[in-house]
Amino acid sequence: MAYLYAFAKEFLTLTWMVLPYFLGGAAFGAALDVFVKPEFALKHLGGGWGSMAKAALLGMVMPGCSCATMPMAEGLRRKGADLGTVTSFLLASPLVSPQTLVLTYAVLGWKFTLARALAAFLGAILIGVLFLWLERRPGFLDIPAGAPAKKCCSGCGCGSGEEAEAPRKFWPVFIDILKELGKYFVLGMAIASLLTVLLPAGFIMRYIGASGPLAYLAATLAGVPLYVCEGEEIPLTLSLMKLGLGPGPAFAFLLGSVGTCIPTMIMSQKLIGRRGVLVYAAFWLAFALAAGLIFGLA
């Protein structure tokens, strides 16, 4: 009974603290979804360095996880955008959205929020440059000749083409965002509360260290294969910090855990090829680790 009481208290305290920010972020995301039309953005993203920067910013402001933005990535490719532009968009999209920035600020503070936004933009530019270079090496990327299939992962809020073309209104979209993200919000809070209650306060510091090499490596390797949907990674990061994990490894976990959505990796094969997916995954691993190290030194 003592554990159950502690869990309920931790869960309610954390949820009460974050809930207003979650609702505010969902409202901002719904407004962007309704008033910012994908067609307006797509026509400005043809290719080149400027296009990669625009694609990174677009991925950061469009609500929804990376699975939800796959149809837009396909649209970019069909309109003649180079792979640098497409991969810049794909990387920035799961890293940052209006909802996750608001939640990150509410739970982890402004330093994590600013670092997350900067990492998304700079990381998107870097991977865009890498794939632009690879695309210009004939025969390296085994990109299929057929068009990418329009698929979606469950629970990400992405719909069919017919749904996307229908007129959208604020309140229905706001409710849809709450329905889709609410379950992940509650699950993230529950897991974070459970970890805080069940594991002793010095658990991580005792076994892997707060900010040593092992802590960075363990946090990155734990985050990269972990599948979380939008916002769930934030309370998990907070719980790891409560258990003794340092800010640098925690930031590496935060970035790594949102970048490797397995359904997105599968769909991306049709867009960037199998070799491209391996390069993309390897970049995520190195990117999350490097970003964590830089954040830990700041």
Q: How far apart are CA 17 and CA 19, in angstroms?
A: 6
Q: For residue 225, name the pLDDT band (cuts at 50, 70, 90).
A: low
For residue range 132-168, what is the model confidence (pLDDT) as tens digits?
899 888 778 877 644 444 444 444 444 444 444 566 7
For residue range 259-288, what is the model confidence (pLDDT) as tens digits?
665 656 666 777 788 888 889 888 988 999
Burial code (b: 16+ CB inside 10 Å, e: under 16) for 139-154 equals: eebebeeeebeeebbe
DSSP secondary structure string for all residues of 19-80: HHHHHHHHHHHHHHHHHS-HHHHHTT--SSHHHHHHHHHHHHHS-S-HHHHHHHHHHHHHTT
At 221, give phi and psi (nearest 5°).
Answer: -65, -30
Q: Enter the tokens of residue 98.
A: 């209006």
Q: Enter the tokens of residue 96.
A: 């940052």
The residues, any chain, with a CB within 8 Å of residue 41's CB and separated by 6 or more, are 54, 58, 62, 72
Model pTM score: 0.75
For residue range 10-44, what is the model confidence (pLDDT) as tens digits?
889 878 877 887 787 678 667 767 776 656 656 66
